[in-house]
Amino acid sequence: MRYRRPLLLVVALALAACDIELTMPTINNTNTNTNTVDVHDIVSFAPVPNPSTPVPAPGGGTETPVPLPASSQGIANAYAAGHPTQLAQSCQLVYGQAAWQFIDGLVLALKASDQRWGYMVKPTDGTISRDVIAYRGTSDNSGAWGVDVIVDLCGTPSYAWNVLGFDPAAQWAANRF
């Protein structure tokens, strides 16, 4: 530490004597993230905001999708507010199986009022989405509303209630196992 000033002085005098000019490169970092939906889990999800046309029913015919229950967002908001640690530790890549506590608990809280709540099955590989839940809108397991409930899953996770819409081809699962 005591040699730092004399060393800097020597370097400065050497640079001045040799007429050398040091310039540092300019670094411009720009990070603009305008994503409002985590598309990594819903690659092929093709939602329809307010489905007005009936979808095919099992065994033929058509049916009009059931809308999302009005009370669901309040139930989900209350659950998220009461479980901030689960939400903060919801990245499965970091916390493994324990990271499912937030989604599992949220789905259970919603199922207490309506059994149509469950898990979104990703169309790309048939696995359960890590941050999007599903509401079964038809009489079978296809045709579901998607709701993105975790933003920035493996960064700084935060709760959201982003209704993605109804997709007649979306797959719903009652359980994650």
Q: What is the pLDDT of residue 97?
A: 95
Q: Domain ranges for the chain, please list them.
A: 38-173
User: Phi then psi for 112, rounded to 5 degrees?
Assistant: -60, -25
Judged against a pLDDT cut of 50, whether residue 54 lies above it is answered with yes
Structure confidence by residue, pLDDT tens digits, 83-136: 999 999 999 999 999 999 999 999 999 999 999 999 999 888 999 999 999 999
Judged against a pLDDT cut of 70, whether residue 15 lies above it is answered with no
Q: What is the pLDDT of residue 63?
A: 74
Q: Which carries the bigger pLDDT value, residue 12 or residue 150?
A: 150
- What is the mean predicted confidence (pLDDT) over 36-65? 59
Structure confidence by residue, pLDDT tens digits, 62-83: 678 899 999 999 999 999 999 9
Q: Which carries the bigger pLDDT value, residue 84 or residue 142?
A: 84
